[in-house]
Structure 1
Amino acid sequence: MAAPEVIVGMSGGVDSSVAALVLRDAGVTIAGLFMDNWADDGSGHCRADEDRRDAVAVCGRLGIPIHFRDFSREYWAGVFEHFLAEYAAGRTPNPDVLCNREIKFRHFLDAARDLGAGRIATGHYARVDQCDGRWRLLRAADRGKDQSYFLHQLGQEQLAATLFPLGELRKDAVRAMAAAAGLPTAAKKDSTGICFVGERDFREFLGQYLPARPGEIRTPDGQVVGEHPGVFYYTLGQREGLHIGGRRGFDDKPWYVVGKDVAANVLTVDQGHDSPYLMSRSLRSEPAHWIAGAPPSTRFSCTAQTRYRQPEEPCEVTVDDTGTLRVAFQRPQRAVTPGQSVVLYLGDACLGGAVIASTDAPAARATGVPA
């Protein structure tokens, strides 16, 4: 049997199912590969068994072979340990970015090559092209589903070996194609939650690894207004789970997390969705990754996102000698969060990005975090 040209990452969802369908119908010799990336913890929340069954059923319907690989150790070492360390430090990591870099476009790509394939394909909503001899990562045609934000850590080698068959399609068209082909995933709900871990009560899940450490909830001027179970359970801009309620001397506006001090074990809150304590004009990052291999210049204008599905914002980027960034926005930004990623764009082209290290938000300055 001839080796496949392309191995499709089959997640058991509708997107990867239609990615395989598109390639098969285009006459490409393909095979599927299902990845086990999370060891069952007995919670009953892991959908791996269901997803595996759906992936097998889809490949059977399409008449293509399917392979299986267990990357749970690699996921733990390359993604989850970092995820826990970041939360323990009071930051809010984005495991989907690491998961793509370390698992889907590293270990999966290596497995595909071991099976004799030259390229891989996934159900991500993004596009790839070549310009002036360099590979580019582009936003998807369906901007509402675009996932280039999560793919900004990819480089030239990965993009040269990757196909995104859904890049030109809208989500409603994808579901219609799945239904027309009789694929069992046509109406399956999209997965959410932590990459490969699935949907579950986040605080309960994180508490298995980072035990509760109660402390005070304070206003920016130091008034104690409640108690928290652990600052690492919260993220900037969060409203849910504070349990502060009405308090004498304060109005009825909702409370939001505006600062976290792990050393002092204090959670800082303020009232109002657009509290000035949540607003920042600039950020500093860890060393950046550039899809082209280098930045376009040491100082340039572009647009940026500091979270998924956020409208892109005009900004000025300065790259220092260590590769870290200073990003200055034209307008104040709400709840820019250390540990998350700032991702840079020039039109539809994703330039790359970096982990946010600090901001100039007032709460950050008040707790001594360098801006």
Structure 2
Amino acid sequence: MMEKKTVVVGMSGGVDSSVAALLLKEQGYNVIGLFMVNWEEDDENGCCTAEQDYEDVRRVSNLIGIPYYTVNFSKEYRERVFSYFLKEYERGRTPNPDVLCNREIKFGPFKEHALALGADYIATGHYCDIAHEGDKSFLLKAADTGKDQTYFLNQVTQPQFQNVLFPLGKMQKSEVRAVAERAGLSTAHKKDSTGICFIGERNFRNFLKSYLPAKRGKMMTYDGKVLGEHLGLMYYTLGQRKGLDIGGQREDGGGRWFVVEKDLKNNILYVAHGDESRLYSAACEVSGVNWIPAPPEKQTFECTAKFRYRQSEQSVRVHVRESGDLFIEFAERQRAVTEGQYAVLYGGGRCLGGGVIERAVF
């Protein structure tokens, strides 16, 4: 009789990781639940959300009959992810810490800890799939295209993908909730977490100003008209319409005001209204590229790309420079391509990798 393989499942207290653990148990694996604490701080109501999530992990694990443990990576998270997050905001950019968390925590120290526990594999509740062929791992898009999370995994390296399972890759979200409900899991109808993990439901500006000093400055148009005062450039993103507090000021042409540029040197927030052509770029430059599973054979090739998570794939032509950086040309001009976010490449149902957007080219 073959010995059971051991899988350590990263359990967050949500429905996805709960069902991932349940399915692996039903498939005959020896399953261990591991709850990861990355952030130790109460929310605005004095509640520690990690405690609430851990309680759900406890309930689910007891119901399906698996052991569960807690591991604390809050120190590593602050050093590897949160410090980067703050530095990027100081530079006037808009980072995506959830991408970094996957490479630096979930498939880094978390995986190392799981293997030290005797795991043959680790698994998560991500909506994506994986194919292992020899020493290469291919990251595949999820069957549920609306929930596909390959965007957030674009920086995970080949060694990190080894011995990884994604049990939900071929499932729809509705199926996952149905499985949870049939099994009587307490997380079956739990609301999905949204936004940046360590901020949660808190006010973003209030959170950020407790770590970075906000420097107010002029909010103005390109022709020199001052419309008001911005609260600090770090609070605004390219193309942003809400929260500008200048809606009562109308000019010829009408339309809502939106952010067109953040001048960090002079601490000026430039806004415009009506014609959005200034927001549309023809290409972008990308650094810190991670290829899945390996760099392409051609220096120039065509594929599709996403420049933010909630976006359909766009046709592009990619040029790989000698430095390893990318110059990506858009088949159609793209709106509000933002420095600090990730450009993620796709082809043939696979995520090919991605990198950080350094500059939009107009």
TM-score if structure 1 supplies the norm length? 0.93
Alignment match, 2:119: 117
Aligned residue runs from structure 1 range 113-262, under 5 A? 113-131=115-133, 134-247=136-249, 249-262=251-264
Shifted more, 244-253 versus 21-30: the winner is 244-253
Give distance in 2, aligned partners of 1:4 and 1:68.
21
Give distance in 1, aligned partners of 2:250 and 2:239.
23
Give distance in 2, aligned partners of 1:115 and 1:160.
17
Give distance in 2, aligned partners of 1:283 and 1:87.
20
Q: How many residues matched?
A: 359
CA RMSD across the alignment: 1.6
Over 4 Å off, 4+ runs? none
Per-residue Cα deviation, 1:64-111 (whole angstroms, up to 9, x for no partner): 000110000000000000000001100000011001111111011011
Following superposition, the deviation at residue 269 of structure 1 comes to 1.0
Q: Does the residue aligned with 1:288 lie in a helix, a strand or coil?
A: strand
Alignment match, 1:301: 302
Give distance in 2, aligned partners of 1:196 and 1:206.
11
Give distance in 2, aligned partners of 1:135 and 1:9.
20
**Aligned-partner residue type, residue 343 of structure 1:** V
Give distance in 1, aligned partners of 2:187 and 2:128.
21
Following superposition, the deviation at residue 252 of structure 1 comes to 3.4
Give distance in 1, aligned partners of 2:4 and 2:43.
37
Give distance in 2, aligned partners of 1:332 and 1:155.
30
**Aligned-partner residue type, residue 53 of structure 2:** D
| Contact preservation (8 Å) 2:4, 2:28 | no
1:357 aligns with 2:353: no
Shifted more, 167-176 versus 2-11: the winner is 2-11
| Unpaired runs of at least 5, structure 2 | none
Cα 1:353/1:89, change in 2 over 3 Å: same
Following superposition, the deviation at residue 347 of structure 1 comes to 2.1
Following superposition, the deviation at residue 327 of structure 1 comes to 0.1
1:341 aligns with 2:342: yes
Alignment match, 2:322: 321
Give distance in 2, aligned partners of 1:119 and 1:255.
50
Q: Does the residue aligned with 1:339 lie in a helix, a strand or coil?
A: coil
| Contact preservation (8 Å) 2:343, 2:356 | yes
| Unpaired runs of at least 5, structure 1 | 362-371
1:291 aligns with 2:311: no
Following superposition, the deviation at residue 41 of structure 1 comes to 4.7
Following superposition, the deviation at residue 46 of structure 1 comes to 4.5
Per-residue Cα deviation, 1:1-60 (whole angstroms, up to 9, x for no partner): x99611000000000000001101111111000001001156436411100100111101
Give distance in 2, aligned partners of 1:111 and 1:209.
30
Q: Does the residue aligned with 2:108 lie in a helix, a strand or coil?
A: helix
TM-score if structure 2 supplies the norm length? 0.96
Following superposition, the deviation at residue 159 of structure 1 comes to 1.8
| Contact preservation (8 Å) 1:341, 1:355 | yes
**Aligned-partner residue type, residue 360 of structure 1:** V
> Taking every aligned residue pair, what percent have the same amino acid on both sides?
52
Cα 1:12/1:146, change in 2 over 3 Å: same
Give distance in 2, aligned partners of 1:282 and 1:151.
23
Q: Does the residue aligned with 1:351 lie in a helix, a strand or coil?
A: strand
Give distance in 2, aligned partners of 1:287 and 1:45.
37
Q: Does the residue aligned with 1:310 lie in a helix, a strand or coil?
A: coil
Aligned residue runs from structure 1 range 262-301, under 5 A? 262-272=264-274, 275-301=276-302
Give distance in 1, aligned partners of 2:163 and 2:239.
38
| Contact preservation (8 Å) 1:38, 1:197 | no
